[in-house]
Amino acid sequence: MSILIVEDELRVRAFISRGLTEEGFRVHESVDGTQAQEMMRHERFALIILDWMLPGLSGLDLLRALRAKQDTTPILMLTAKDAVADRISALNAGADDYLIKPFAFEELLARIRAILRRVDNRATPLMSHADLTMDPTTRKVVRAGVEIPLTAREYALLQFMLEHAGEVLSRTRIVQAVWEHDLETFSNVVEVYIRYLRAKVDTPFPTRLIHTVRGVGYVLRSRA
């Protein structure tokens, strides 16, 4: 599940990014509202964490622009502006929640999950392929009725593959989506985690779902 952090303070952005990545989210980062707008033209995010005071296009202006064009992406405002009037302005402009800095990461995480639960209640929450099912709300993965425990990174990798089931995913694309780093930094990390996933998702079951496409990458599909 992808989350976009729009925050110009490096320390705050890195802190949130690290925490959410450890929780299994795929995190994207933007330093200003204009860059965030461009990123949203190319990717759909499950939620946006939006600072108010940004260089150039402010967070509130970005929020108003998105809602004006009927974009319903959930937005959590995370800002140092703590006046009641500010909170009212942001919520009236279409923010789904409002958290004031400084903040506790556990509270931010709880608010994110509460927003995503509300969204999931409006849509189909389950992701599935063949006999494999993932519930993004409870983070439970089940295959053929058997619950499969996954680490945060294994979960993020499997979720990315489920979102693109049937597509051949290159190693570079997987690294960029799941690890958010340059490929050179991670050498054979994709192979290692694919092996971990296969041991849990495929080995105990008669049909393989994770396939290697030699020289290209990997694909999640129910046929050989």
pLDDT at site 17? 93
Nearest to 164 by CA among 150, 147, 176: 176
Taking the CB of residue 109, how many other CB atoms lie within 10 A of it?
15
Condensed to tens digits (0 to 9), the pLDDT of residues 171-188 reads 888 887 787 665 555 568
Tokens of 127: 């992701």
d(CA 52, CA 106): 21
DSSP helix/strand/coil, 60: helix
Condensed to tens digits (0 to 9), the pLDDT of residues 70-108 reads 888 999 999 999 999 999 999 999 999 999 999 999 999
For the segment 191-215, the average pLDDT, to the nearest whole number, is 94
Tokens of 189: 């990390």
Is residue 80 within 8 A of residue 37, CB to CB? The reply is no
110-126 burial, b at 16+ Cβ within 10 Å, e below that, comes to: ebbeebbeebbeeeeee
Q: What percentage of residues in the chain have a pLDDT greater than 70?
A: 93
Is residue 190 within 8 A of residue 171, CB to CB? The reply is yes
* Number of helices and strands in the chain (H, E): 9, 12
Domains and CATH numbers, the chain: 2-120 (3.40.50.2300), 127-220 (1.10.10.10)
Count of CA atoms in the C-beta half-sphere (13 A) of 25: 24
For the segment 15-38, the average pLDDT, to the nearest whole number, is 90
Confidence of residue 127 (pLDDT cuts 50, 70, 90): confident
Confidence of residue 213 (pLDDT cuts 50, 70, 90): very high
Is residue 157 within 8 A of residue 177, CB to CB? The reply is no
pLDDT at 113 over 70: yes
pLDDT at site 42? 80
Q: What percentage of residues in the chain have a pLDDT greater than 90?
A: 63
d(CA 63, CA 123): 22
The single residue listed with the structure tokens 């976009």 is 4
Nearest to 94 by CA among 123, 118, 122, 65: 65
